[in-house]
Chains A and B, each alone.
Chain A
Amino acid sequence: MKCTNCGADFASDQLKCPYCGRVNEHALKLAKELQTYDKAYEEKRDELLETGTGQVLRHLTFGMGIVFLVILCVAFGCVAFYQYRYSDHSTYEVTGARLTGNKEKIGKYLEDKQYIRAYLLASATDPTGEYFRYYPEYAADLSDIYSYSLILVGVLHSMESMDEGDNYAPLLDTDVITMQIFYGSGNDSPIKEDLIREVDGYLKNYYRLTDEEIEDLKESASGGQFTLEGIADIEDVTKRRMEAYFEK
């Protein structure tokens, strides 16, 4: 373009004439307009950017929420299913044909004198635990077998330690309490008689109690104090007797 002052040629976007220094009004106007546009653009851009980010974040939040919720539902569902399928409660076989089958098996085991096996089957399949309410016809015998099983396991462990040359495991206060519960249950079935014969045998021939002392123990089942040789520390007395007998 030509300068309005000196007539020299110069580029139209230059703000001043390079020869005479006259201000290019046209370029100045354009520059101001451009500055205004730039400012407006920057303001708009920030606003657009913020709005866009907000939209992305909102979608991301909802998307994540839904994805997490679905995954959690599946995970909780799997856990709940396995909990129901494999928990202790679902293993109880106490309904319909299974209950009848269990009763038949318990009857058969008791007949074959597999008392402990009958007790294990009943306790594992009865949600009432040691009350055996699902097997009322065997409940009294099974309760006695439970006490008997504790006595038997004690004898077996003690016998094992004796065979291995360790100290003799004498009759403990806790064993006496178990025996008092066993003797005092009030059940007089043939199974109980059989079990009593066996426990009497352990007391007499293993723990070395006399017949009179065994009778005292049975009588103490109704709440009396049981002593040996007039001493309450039965552990010491039985240990001494067992050592004297078995070492001989």
Chain B
Amino acid sequence: MALLEVDDLSVTFARRGQRTVRAVDGVSFSVDAGEVVGLVGESGCGKSVTSMAIMGLLPRQPGTRIGGKAVFDGTDLLGLDDRARRDIRGRDVAMIFQDPLSSLNPVIPIGLQVTEVLARHRGMKGDAARKEAAGLLDRVGIPDPNRRLKEYPHQLSGGMRQRALIAMAVACRPRLLIADEPTTALDVTIQAQILELLKELVHDSGTALVMITHDLGVVAGMCDSINVLYAGRVVETARRRPLFREPRHPYTAGLLGSVPRLDSGRGEPLNPIPGSVRDVLSWSEGCAFAPRCSRRVDACLDETPPLVRTHDGRSYRCVDPVPLPGAIPAQAGPADQPGASSPDPNEEKTRD
């Protein structure tokens, strides 16, 4: 059984006088114990909102609606009351954020920011808590931890700050760690170190990790399985290797194709996906990616593309997926018969 099972999660923001925004639109994915799962997509695809909804961190405002389920170890996190949620947060499920400087309280020493988690969830106080905090800083690779405990966030470098945030997140040995673009604000060399640290921590402790990123390089180096998000929905799910080798959804293929390659010829143009995330259709009108898609056919605009699950555990949401290399092209054009034209006979479709 999966450690975290997110099922049909949706988040809408309604503001008076403005159009209701559906930031997350029926996202489903699962995370097994000890697994590293990527949520990948461009800015605005709903990946951060998804993680905030799971953590119960979305601002409680009248217009915010959260639907669906996020079952963690048998409990639906979305159905918990405030107190129960606070008990789980930081102890069983922890989170690391994007900008380490603004995510740390500027007027409180690092030490207290670590020990307050220990005090809250593990009842540790005084010297014991301080000792444990120093041990945690040491474990995340901060040299001279006893001195650092007394320092303030502005006295640390960017990489150190992110390490300190990680120390706070792993302080109670959570079973699930959600990292929301943890390396975006850092230098490239530091990025690699932080990723290495995360990899090591989850490997040693058996913690499951949800890695939220727009960076395919991060995904390639870390994740066991990957969910590609577009306009608030998962458009493709696969294990890492098949996804990189044979992307099925045109959006995934586009993302992979737009990564600049060092070995490409001089002067060769980059291959960005045309248009921008703003050019979306609502999923109820058809495929949200259709306006930017190079493989668009008429069927794309008829209805929401159903989720196609293949026998090898992959799934994608596309009526005319990128063919597998070596696959025999279907006799009938997929555009004509969107329901019955998959190149793979083992594929089954689910309506949702």
Chains A and B come from one and the same complex: no
